[in-house]
Amino acid sequence: MTVTTLNTDTISPAAVTAIGERFREPTWLRQAREAAWETFTATPWPTYTEETWRRTRLTGFDLADFTLATEPVPAVSSRRQLPRKMSANLRKMDSGGALVFQDASLIYAELDPELAVRGVIFTDLRTALVEHEELVRTYLGAQVLAADNKFAALHYALWQNGTFLYVPRHVTVEKPFQVLIQLSPGKAAFHHSLIIAEENSELTIAEDYLGAARGMSDTVVELYPLAAARLHYLHLQNLDTTAWNFATMRSSVYRDALYRHLQASWGSRLSKVWIDLNLEEPGSHGELLGLYFPQGRQHIDHHTNQNHKRPRGTSDLLFKGALDDASRSVYQGIIRVWPHAQKTDAYQKNDNLLLSEQARADSIPGLEIQADDVRCTHGATSAKVQDEYVFYLMARGLSRKTAKRMIVSGFFEEVLNRVPVPGVRHKLEAEIARRVGLE
């Protein structure tokens, strides 16, 4: 591990070179960085004339406002040495392994030794690059490309570290892995997650993003559930409400494999999140669940893509959001069924609950079907809390506030009861309760 620091903290071509040098990266990676920077500069900033950016404006966003993490943060060897908030957060889940990042530094790691013996690799991307370069080279950037969008390009030019999880063939890991990513104020962070579930393996991983006050997080998550694997990914975005958040996440699902994604978008002033599900081979399954609950002037934008490329795939999407104050949400989702992807069964639903007159939820579902023997259903709803519900509960003795809280929690229940990890479910419930407001 190198301990030198980065000699520039600005988002610039110099930083691209400096990162490669600081970590003595292999040539292929340095070249990828340079190419990504080229792509970044060649790609215009999004404008609202593009369909995907029509409802989300980057007013007030300026890369010059952020700096890169330059100093390594020293690691600790036990949970007790972590800041209390972090160790308390880790305790909420019974996990098979945990990683804690402070910006680009891995500051704490643990892995059930039995899992290590069975060939599970759970470490930071830096370490993986040194110890398992071929694996990283095979999977890094193969799913989400720099050319995907301007933020993905910037990410590939400037990422410094991330999560690496590899579960070998036929290995089932019961307990979830957990990752905390704590970001410092004012920084630009580019965490990269690479998660590989080999043939017929099973894993669950929950990543929790925290902090980044007045900063930005530009994340890429690449997920590989290979044949007959079962991969559960839970993305908990708990960033500060002054953070800018961009994330591109993509999963390629292979023959008879299952991918389940949970997206909880709680924080950030503005979030632009792309979640793509590619059903690459016959008989693959995907489930996408989403929760959001913006308040104040938060703006949360999700794009989903259920891409059915081969026959007999199923996908099931449910995104639910409650919106308070003058917040806004955008949901754009498309189900694409390619020619020959017969016997596709795809479902997509977005429900919004408006808690204030000023809140606004836009929902744009879409279908693009090129096969004939398919079943595709989609729908979107947007409603206020019904007075009749509130009255019924109040007539039974509940205060107005408790009544509303119950109705909102009940609204999310349909997603919550599908969350596979009890520890995560409790975290989500607590977050919803906090937002609805204890009296």
Partner 1 sequence: MTAVLEVKDLHVSVGDNEILKGVSLTVRQGEVHALMGPNGSGKSTMAYAIAGHPHYQVTSGDILFNGQSILDLEPDERAKLGIFLAFQYPVAIPGVSFANFLRAAVSSVRGYKDRARAEVAQGGKREIGSELMPMREFRKELLAKMDRFNVDRSFAQRYLNDGFSGGEKKRGEVLQMAMLEPKIAILDESDSGLDIDALRVVADGINKLVADGMGALLITHYQRILNYVKPDKVSIFYKGRVVLTGGPELAHVLEEKGYGWVEKELAVEPA
Q: Closest approach of Cβ 431 to partner 1, in Å?
A: 16
Q: Closest approach of Cβ 354 to partner 1, in Å?
A: 16
Q: Please name every residue paired with 305 in a beta bridge, in sequence order, or none if there are none.
A: 276, 334
Residue placing its CB nearer to partner 1 in the complex, 130 or 398: 398
**C-alpha distances out from residue 18 to 144, 189, 212, 218, Å:** 23, 16, 23, 19
Using DSSP, state whether 315 is helix, strand or coil: strand
Q: Which stretch binds partner 1 (CB under 8 A): 139-147, 331-339, 360-368, 401-409?
A: 401-409
Q: Closest approach of Cβ 364 to partner 1, in Å?
A: 24
Let me know if 87 is exposed, middle or buried by CB neighbors in 10 A (0-12, 13-18, 19+). middle
Residue placing its CB nearer to partner 1 in the complex, 177 or 319: 319
Q: Closest approach of Cβ 400 to partner 1, in Å?
A: 7
Contact pick of 119, 339, 410, 422 for partner 1 (by CB under 8 A): 410
Contact between 206 and partner 1 by CB under 8 A: the answer reads: no
Residue placing its CB nearer to partner 1 in the complex, 21 or 413: 413
Contact between 397 and partner 1 by CB under 8 A: the answer reads: yes
Q: Which stretch binds partner 1 (CB under 8 A): 36-44, 134-142, 331-339, 409-417?
A: 409-417
Let me know if 251 is exposed, middle or buried by CB neighbors in 10 A (0-12, 13-18, 19+). buried
Q: Closest approach of Cβ 391 to partner 1, in Å?
A: 6
Distance CA 319, CA 11 (A): 34
Q: Closest approach of Cβ 88 to partner 1, in Å?
A: 16
Size of the residue set binding partner 1 (CB under 8 A) = 24
Residue placing its CB nearer to partner 1 in the complex, 274 or 411: 411
Contact between 434 and partner 1 by CB under 8 A: the answer reads: no
Contact between 7 and partner 1 by CB under 8 A: the answer reads: no
Angle (CA) 145-149-151 rounded to 5° is 100
Let me know if 64 is exposed, middle or buried by CB neighbors in 10 A (0-12, 13-18, 19+). exposed
Contact predicate 65/146, CB 8 Å = no
Residue placing its CB nearer to partner 1 in the complex, 331 or 411: 411
Sorted by sequence, the CB contacts under 8 Å of residue 431 that are 6+ apart come out as 238, 264, 266, 293
Contact pick of 55, 147, 409, 425 for partner 1 (by CB under 8 A): 409
Contact between 370 and partner 1 by CB under 8 A: the answer reads: no
Distance CA 306, CA 274 (A): 11
Q: Closest approach of Cβ 387 to partner 1, in Å?
A: 7
Q: Closest approach of Cβ 404 to partner 1, in Å?
A: 11
Contact between 400 and partner 1 by CB under 8 A: the answer reads: yes
Using CB under 8 A as the binding rule, the residues of this chain from 95 to 114 that contact partner 1 are: none
Contact between 411 and partner 1 by CB under 8 A: the answer reads: yes
Contact pick of 142, 383, 386, 422 for partner 1 (by CB under 8 A): 386
Contact pick of 296, 414, 422, 437 for partner 1 (by CB under 8 A): 414
Distance CA 179, CA 323 (A): 28
Q: Closest approach of Cβ 403 to partner 1, in Å?
A: 8
Q: Closest approach of Cβ 384 to partner 1, in Å?
A: 14
Using DSSP, state whether 330 is helix, strand or coil: strand
Distance CA 249, CA 355 (A): 29
Cβ-count burial 36-50 (b if 16+ within 10 Å, e if not): bbebbeebeebeeee
Tokens of 96: 């098979």
Tokens of 429: 């419930």
Residue placing its CB nearer to partner 1 in the complex, 296 or 422: 422
Contact pick of 214, 394, 425, 435 for partner 1 (by CB under 8 A): 394
Distance CA 244, CA 298 (A): 10
**C-alpha distances out from residue 38 to 24, 30, 102, 150, 271, Å:** 21, 13, 28, 11, 25
Please, where are the H alpha helices in 297-421?
Answer: 387-395, 400-416
Helix (H) or strand (E) holding 17: helix 13-22
Contact pick of 34, 137, 402, 418 for partner 1 (by CB under 8 A): 402
Contact pick of 10, 74, 368, 392 for partner 1 (by CB under 8 A): 392
Residue placing its CB nearer to partner 1 in the complex, 53 or 389: 389
Contact between 412 and partner 1 by CB under 8 A: the answer reads: yes
Taking alpha carbons only, the member of 235, 126, 244 closest to residue 185 is 244
Contact between 385 and partner 1 by CB under 8 A: the answer reads: no
Contact pick of 21, 133, 368, 413 for partner 1 (by CB under 8 A): 413
Question: Could you list the residues that contact partner 1 (CB under 8 A)?
Answer: 386-389, 391-400, 402-403, 406-407, 409-414
